Amino acid sequence: EAQVTQNPRYLITVTGKKLTVTCSQNMNHEYMSWYRQDPGLGLRQIYYSMNVEVTDKGDVPEGYKVSRKEKRNFPLILESPSPNQTSLYFCASSFGGHQKETQYFGPGTRLLVL
Amino acid sequence: KQEVTQIPAALSVPEGENLVLNCSFTDSAIYNLQWFRQDPGKGLTSLLLIQSSQREQTSGRLNASLDKSSGRSTLYIAASQPGDSATYLCAVSPRNTNAGKSTFGDGTTLTVKP
């Protein structure tokens, strides 16, 4: 089944404890992206990757890191999480090198930073 | 900076009614516009993708139109059903070197009453 998977789905952590949220897609998509969704602020893009070894900042990249060493994986790294990073995180992927096409979303990761 | 607005924020209609959801954007230099559906606590599901060269796309009871010059898109839902209750979001992708970026509206929450 074609899908985007995220792990973990739920995570409670404490301030400053490094964490990684994994994202994997099995559709051979070039493009992948991370978003966060917050009440009243909508869906905002954190980072995106147009292809392997190519990443770029979205609108809210502060406090996050990403890497794209393989086409199928795009992990989101929080080196020192803070309470304001408590959010619902989504990973997405699509075909398209220069321009992305239909985006397919993962199920989301709900993160609580205490 | 691209801004995407969706009005109304919430809409409640009786079952069977035809309805229109609106999406407006400030920068007409877009590559495509995509409509999504999000159920509570779930990820986003793509409904329709309209390329900038297209005027509309249809899928079943859904029809999305695009007027790039006026910066508007509409999602028409025919013969609404309670199962259509969800939040509907639109997102635009730019036609420029920031092709990987996506800007989302805040969504319209639709309730279809039996």
Query: Between B36, B93, B107, which is nearest A100 by CB?
Result: B93
What was the pLDDT predicted at A98?
Answer: 55
For B:16-75, CB contacts with A below 8 A are 31-32, 34, 36, 41-46, 49
Q: Is A85 left (phi over 0), alpha (psi -120 to 50) or beta?
A: alpha
The answer on pLDDT for A102 being more than 90 is no
Q: Specify the pLDDT at position A82.
A: 97
- Residues forming beta bridges with residue B37, ordered by sequence position: B45, B88
The mean predicted confidence, pLDDT, of chain A is 93
Q: Check if the beta carbon of residue A20 is closer than 8 Å to that of residue A30.
A: no
How much is the pLDDT for A99?
Answer: 61
pLDDT of residue B41: 83
**pLDDT tens digits along B7-53:** 999 999 999 999 999 999 999 989 899 999 999 888 999 999 998 99
Return d(Cα A7, Cα A91) in angstroms, integer: 10
Q: pLDDT tens digit string along B60-109?
A: 999 999 999 999 999 999 999 999 999 999 999 888 766 788 899 999 99
Integer Cα distance of A64 and A89 in angstroms: 12
CB contact under 8 Å between B46 and A48, yes or no, is no
pLDDT of residue B94: 85
